Amino acid sequence: MSSQNPPATLRIPFVRRCTVSSANGETLAMLLDLSLRGVYVATDELQTSGDEVRVRFHVPGNVRELSIPGLVAWVQKEKTHPVHGLPRGFGVRFTKLEVEDVRLIARAIQSYCQSNPIYRQYL
């Protein structure tokens, strides 16, 4: 595995349960993708663009829960295509990643890319 982090813009499929905390409370949701810059949260409990949130989730092979603050970058109010469209939810841009968070996310992305021939080119 490369010691360098994958490109920050590289986004991989990453379907995992998560918890989103905001001024409106806490909700259980699903992550659909992951990058070093942020995640997509699938949920009917929509936030507003610009809202501060905290996303908590686990990456494979690690018991430590990541708890990362972020801003809602955009909101998907309706699914635009029955097969290819994203479900209701929102994109979160991470605002502060701890060194250990970067390491764990980068390792998850690298592992996915190594196991998927289409993504190997990005390592």
Q: Report how many domains make up the chain.
A: 1
Residue 85: the pLDDT is 79
Residue 3: the pLDDT is 54
Residue 78: the pLDDT is 84
Residue 69: the pLDDT is 98
Q: How far is residue 30's CA from residue 40's CA, in Å, rounded to a whole number?
A: 8
Q: How far is residue 11's CA from residue 23's CA, in Å, rounded to a whole number?
A: 27
34: domain range? 12-116
Residue 74: the pLDDT is 95
Residue 101: the pLDDT is 95
17 belongs to a structural domain:
yes
Q: DSSP string of 14-49? A: EEEEEEEEETTEEEEEEEEEE-SSEEEEE-SS---T
Residue 1: the pLDDT is 43
6 belongs to a structural domain:
no
Residue 123: the pLDDT is 66
111 belongs to a structural domain:
yes
Residue 111, token pair as written in the block: 């592992």
73 belongs to a structural domain:
yes
Q: What residue spans of the chain are helical by DSSP H?
A: 99-115, 117-120
- Digits of tens for pLDDT over the chain (123 positions)? 445 778 888 999 999 999 999 998 999 999 999 999 999 999 999 999 999 999 999 999 889 999 999 999 999 998 776 767 789 999 999 999 999 999 999 999 999 998 988 877 776
2 belongs to a structural domain:
no
Stated pTM of the model: 0.90
Neighbouring CB atoms inside 10 A of 104's CB total 19
CATH number at residue 105: 2.40.10.220
71 belongs to a structural domain:
yes
